[in-house]
Amino acid sequence: MKREHAGWLVLLLKNPVVALVAFIVIVILALVFSTMGVLLIGSQSQNNNQDGQYPVACQAGDLNEEIFESQFDNAGVFTGMADVFLSIGYKHQVDPVLLASIAFHETGRGTSKMVVERNNPGGLYNSSAGSFFVYSSLEEGIDAMASNLYRLYIGMGLLTIEQIGAKYAPIGVENDPNNLNIHWVPNVSKVVASFGGLSMNCEVMGLDGSMLHPIPNAVITSEFGTRVDPFTGSISTHKGVDFGCSVGQSIFAAMSGTVYDSRYSDSYGNVVILQHGDKYTLYAHMTQNSVDKGESVKAGQQVGTCGSTGNSTGPHLHFEIQLSPYGQRIDPLPYLQGGATLE
């Protein structure tokens, strides 16, 4: 033993109070570092799961039937019905994983009264009769659910869990006083992950993330989706993404296309809509428009300048992706190249 170490040992033996204090300090330091390690691990896990949500892979055509079928063990009335979900899903062009995951979520894994007594796994409601549909068989109910999913969601370009959830279980609506809909997306994502991930509709309407950013290095001031309306103070759906900008700053076309509309609108202010085949991009609240209706534009060409016209609280660009003119909107952020930061 080195002399300096022996000296410390003698000091502690002769002074029990000092030894006790040293022991307590060591214990406290050990607890602190242990807690920091747990927090660090928890933080890393949180990041890996996208802020607590379950990451959902999507690989077209790569459905793992072994994993898929294994989920139908001890699944209430759905037990052993993997083939039914597969055939009905493909029949209606709906990912069987998505179809089964929503059915599992909505019915408590095949155990709710809605599916046990009514054969209605999607909770489909007959508005004319004022009651929920009752189907003669479970297969008929699953078929109706898949048809509804394609007609009102997939066929309208709503392909991701987030897009479907925004319409299927909107946040802040009156018929959800306990705000349970906020759990729909993460819970369905969890079930999808247990099935091995999505296997269809991995790209939205041909958008592949190659769209140019309309304002390079812009700050996002308001995201797509549910928010508090800045004018009414009520819950509403924000149909696009807002990017901060300075008055007169150039705004560029995200894709090449044709000017479908260029005018002044009471709500959008100076607005330009570009048509890109079966898709449209909208640029609103501009000080002025730089292109005219019918004109061809190239990606990166200036379409206007930043402003605060129409219903606007300050200079910014309101940017949308539309599946039809002023029709269904989808979140633009997944399809824009980098250059935006969240405020």
Task: Note whether residue 201 is domain-resident.
Answer: no
DSSP letter at 334 equals G
Mean pLDDT score, 89-104: 93
Task: Note whether residue 324 is domain-resident.
Answer: yes
- Does residue 314 contact residue 303 with C-beta atoms inside 8 Å? no
- Identify which of 61, 54, 340 has the alpha carbon closest to the alpha carbon of residue 219: 340
Based on the fold, state whether residues 156 and 247 are members of the same structural domain: no
Phi-psi region of 110 (alpha: psi -120 to 50; beta: other; left: phi over 0): left
What CATH number does residue 131 fall under? 1.10.530.10
CA distances from 325 to 42, 131, 212, 213, 308 (A): 45, 34, 20, 21, 22
> Which pLDDT score, from 0 to 100, does residue 336 have?
80
Q: Which token pair is 249?
A: 């700053």
Based on the fold, state whether residues 40 and 72 are members of the same structural domain: no
Based on the fold, state whether residues 224 and 314 are members of the same structural domain: yes
> Hey, is 301 helix, strand or coil?
coil
For residue 16, pLDDT beyond 60:
yes
* Mean pLDDT taken over the chain: 81
115 vs 181 pLDDT, higher one? 115
> Which pLDDT score, from 0 to 100, does residue 48 have?
33
Band of residue 342 on the pLDDT scale cut at 50, 70, 90: very low
DSSP code string of 111-170 = TSHHHHHH--TT--EETTTTEE---SSHHHHHHHHHHHHHHHTGGGT--SHHHHHHHHS-
Task: Note whether residue 258 is domain-resident.
Answer: yes
Task: State the Cα–Cα distance between residues 275 and 257, nearest whole angstrom.
Answer: 5
> Which pLDDT score, from 0 to 100, does residue 167 have?
83
List pLDDT tens digits, range 317-328. Answer: 999 999 888 888
Global pTM? 0.50
Question: Can you list the positions of beta strands (E) in the chain?
Answer: 125-126, 131-132, 218-222, 225-228, 235-238, 241-244, 250-252, 257-265, 269-276, 279-286, 288-289, 296-297, 302-305, 316-322, 329-330, 340-342
Q: Which token pair is 86?
A: 């597969």
Task: Note whether residue 205 is domain-resident.
Answer: no
Based on the fold, state whether residues 170 and 126 are members of the same structural domain: yes
Based on the fold, state whether residues 24 and 80 are members of the same structural domain: no
List pLDDT tens digits, range 48-81. Answer: 333 334 445 677 778 889 999 999 999 999 999 9
Residue 231 exposed, middle or buried by CB count within 10 Å (0-12, 13-18, 19+): exposed
Task: Note whether residue 163 is domain-resident.
Answer: yes
DSSP letter at 176 equals -
Based on the fold, state whether residues 75 and 149 are members of the same structural domain: yes
Parent domain of 155: 65-194
List pLDDT tens digits, range 173-189. Answer: 776 777 778 889 889 98
> Which pLDDT score, from 0 to 100, does residue 39 have?
32
Distance in angstroms between the alpha carbons of the first and the last residue of the chain: 58
Based on the fold, state whether residues 169 and 281 are members of the same structural domain: no
Based on the fold, state whether residues 300 and 183 are members of the same structural domain: no
Task: Note whether residue 211 is domain-resident.
Answer: no
Based on the fold, state whether residues 75 and 178 are members of the same structural domain: yes
Based on the fold, state whether residues 69 and 190 are members of the same structural domain: yes
Q: What total number of domains does the chain contain? A: 3
253 vs 13 pLDDT, higher one? 253
- How many helices and strands (H and E) does the chain possess? 9, 16
Lowest mean pLDDT among 26-40, 132-146, 154-168, 246-260: 26-40
Mean pLDDT score, 200-218: 72
What CATH number does residue 324 fall under? 2.70.70.10
Task: Note whether residue 83 is domain-resident.
Answer: yes
List pLDDT tens digits, range 285-302. Answer: 999 999 999 998 988 899
Based on the fold, state whether residues 98 and 178 are members of the same structural domain: yes
Q: Which helix (H) or strand (E) holds 313?
A: none
Based on the fold, state whether residues 160 and 268 are members of the same structural domain: no
Tell which of 194, 226, 251 closes a domain.
194
**Residue 292 C-beta-side C-alpha neighbours within 13 Å:** 0
> Which pLDDT score, from 0 to 100, does residue 38 have?
33
Task: Note whether residue 158 is domain-resident.
Answer: yes
Q: Which helix (H) or strand (E) holds 187?
A: helix 184-194
Phi first, then psi, for residue 246 (nearest 5°) are -100, 145
